[in-house]
């Protein structure tokens, strides 16, 4: 599979990304694992998810997709550096839509825990937040 550079991120991604929105919603864990296995077996490498997936489903709390992806990563016969994980912050997880620094710092730790990984390859805001100053939404990357 021909990989492509993703802007200036330094990441190399396949031309197709799988959306994890359905994991824990219309795809149960067993089906989600099968989808992810087939996706990576085909030479593709990037999973897109968000902390809020799938909070809209009765009985779900949000983070369900990240939890399934985390469990899949733990059992997959694939080293973590072969998967590009993209997740998002800023949707309403009970505190309203916000990109305040204090919220982002907690939300990223929560996502890391659900994903059962030490790092997220690309962390994005899910929605704009006009109420939070730009400087507060643009946290510096760790060195």
Which residues does the annotation mark as catalytic? 53
What is the Cα–Cα distance from 55 to 60, expressed in whole angstroms? 5
Identify whether the C-beta of residue 84 lies closer than 8 Å to the C-beta of residue 120: no
Q: Output the furthest CA–CA distance in the chain (Å, rounded).
A: 43
Q: Six-digit token pair at 85?
A: 């994980």
Among 93, 92, 91, 83, residue whose Cα is nearest residue 120: 83
Q: Report cis status (omega within 30 of 0) of the bond before 48.
A: no
């Amino acid at each position: 599979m021909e990989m492509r550079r993703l802007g200036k991120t330094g990441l190399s991604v396949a031309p197709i990304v799988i959306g994890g929105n359905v994991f824990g919603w219309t795809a149960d864990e067993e089906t989600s694992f099968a989808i992810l296995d087939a996706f990576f077996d085909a030479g593709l490498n990037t999973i897109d998810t968000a902390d809020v997936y799938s909070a809209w489903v009765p009985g779900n709390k949000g983070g369900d997709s990240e939890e399934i992806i985390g469990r899949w990563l733990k059992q997959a016969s694939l080293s973590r550096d072969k998967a590009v994980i993209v997740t998002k912050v800023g949707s309403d997880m009970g505190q309203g839509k916000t990109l305040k620094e204090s919220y982002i710092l907690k939300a990223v730790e929560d996502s890391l825990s659900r994903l059962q990984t030490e790092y997220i390859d690309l962390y994005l805001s899910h929605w704009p937040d006009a109420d939070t100053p730009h400087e507060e939404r643009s946290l510096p990357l760790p060195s």
